[in-house]
Amino acid sequence: MKIEHDVGLGRFTTLGAGGAARAFARPSTVEEVAEALVWAREREIPVATIGLGSNLLVADEGVEALVLKLGGALAAAEVRGDLLVAGGGAPNAVCLHRARAAGLGGFEFACAIPGTTGGGVWMNAGAYGSDWSQVLERALVVDDSAARWLTPAELGLSYRRSALRHGQVVARTEFRLAPKPQDEIKAKVTELQALRKAAQPTNKRTFGSVFKNPEHELTAGRMLEACGLRGFMSGGAQISPKHANFIENADEARSADAVALIAEARRRAREQFGVVLEPEVQLLGAIEIPPVE
Ligand SMILES: Cc1cc2nc3c(=O)[nH]c(=O)nc-3n(C[C@H](O)[C@H](O)[C@H](O)COP(=O)(O)OP(=O)(O)OC[C@H]3O[C@@H](n4cnc5c(N)ncnc54)[C@H](O)[C@@H]3O)c2cc1C
């Protein structure tokens, strides 16, 4: 497997920002993942895996790590009985397509989540009352010592988080689905996509929800809207005029521009509501959200 050097990661993120990975590889089998992990361990280089970069802010200065992007068989999906069997790099859209073609329902909620199954495990991705923990049967997690199948409980899945750490690669996933007529699946997806389009920016470069929803009567979006932040800009990044819990790449944004908006949003939410918002977006490289005073 080829190891490349200084590969720009911006094009692998939905925001379209961020610097280069010191080392980069695209393993397409579990053996290649293990090989890449050994390569990094021998050189004492940390490892991180990216999916479709749809919840990711990459440091503008780049990432001092071996970054893996799963490809080939690890980005494919198929149905076996009632199981959807997918590589950790398989896009959710491909999985949903396979499930629908086989007449299996339960994965429709993921139509609104533009990531991979592995990224979904890391995030316990979810929407419309469902999430990975409810449909995931098990995931094959590879680190530099072993490959283990883990259940949702062993993965520590809870609201938009798991217990996974960089260096642990979700190489394969299996989802338990249930028979459902194809036209019902299609109708559900159409309904959810229309809801999404009405509420959120769908034709802009964003990384999804910036903050997790706090334990408060207001969602993060409503709170930031009340702080007057809709449309607020820093450099080339803008808080979405449509939904204040999204940041858009308005004009060649840098990740630092997004971080500045995140810091300002947290400052105002703290000041106005006494709430410290917790970022949902994941950070890669030397990039930090300043603490709220
Ligand atoms: C328009 C839009 C709408 C969105 N709506 C939703 C929504 O409704 N619900 C929701 O939950 N999310 C939503 N998101 C966020 C995002 O799509 C999800 O969090 C998704 O699960 C991230 O998957 P990814 O493959 O893109 O992961 P990335 O963004 O590439 O990575 C996210 C994290 O997972 C880790 N990771 C990725 N793949 C692996 C792997 N194979 N093994 C180990 N670690 C891995 C990365 O290191 C990183 O820490 C939205 C994003 C956008 C742009």
Q: How far is CA 159 from CA 68, 114, 214, 217, 226, in A?
A: 25, 18, 11, 17, 24
Residues lining ligand 1, Cβ inside 6 A? 14, 48-56, 70, 88, 112-116, 118-120, 122-123, 125-127, 164, 169-170, 206-208, 282
Q: Which residue numbers in the chain have pLDDT < 50?
A: none
Given CA atoms 246, 251, 252, 255 in this order, what sign does their dihedral have? negative
Which residues, in sequence order, are bridge partners of residue 147?
142
Catalytic residue chosen out of the listed positions 28, 133, 209, 255: 209
Q: Are 189 and 111 in contact (CB under 8 A)?
A: yes
DSSP bridge partners of 50: 69
Residue nearest to atom 36 of ligand 1 (CA): 119
User: Residue 202: its pLDDT value, please?
Assistant: 87
pLDDT of 293 reads 74
160 catalytic per annotation? yes
- Here the tokens at position 291 are 């603490």
Please report the atom of ligand 1 found closest to the CA of residue 116. Answer: 25
Round to whole Å and give the CA distance between 189 and 17.
Answer: 30
Active site residue 280: yes
Annotation says 209 is catalytic: yes
The string of DSSP letters for the chain reads -PPEEEEE-GGGSSS----EEEEEE---SHHHHHHHHHHHHHHT--EEEESS-TTEEE-TT-EEEEEEE--GGGG-EEEETTEEEEETT-BHHHHHHHHHHTTEES-GGGGG--SBHHHHHHHT-EETTEEHHHHEEEEEEE-SS-EEEE-HHHHT-BTTB-S--TT-EEEEEEEE-EE--HHHHHHHHHHHHHHHHHHS--SS---S-SBPPPSSSS-HHHHHHHTT-TT-EETTEEE-SS-TT-EEE-SS--HHHHHHHHHHHHHHHHHHHS--PPB-SEEESS--PPPP-
Angle separating helix axes 92-101 and 182-199, nearest 10 degrees: 150
Instruction: Identify whether the C-beta of residue 117 lies closer than 8 Å to the C-beta of residue 173.
Output: yes
Give the model confidence (pLDDT) of 219-249 as tens digits. Answer: 999 999 999 999 999 999 999 999 999 999 9
Mutation to probe ligand 1, out of 55, 142, 205 (largest number of atoms < 8 A from CB): 55
Digit-coded pLDDT (tens) for 182-208: 999 999 999 999 999 998 998 999 999
Q: Which is catalytic among the residues 100, 160, 172, 268?
A: 160
Residues in the chain: 293
Ligand 1 atom nearest the C-alpha of 282 is 49
Q: What is the pLDDT of residue 189?
A: 98
Protein residue with least CA distance to atom 41, ligand 1: 118
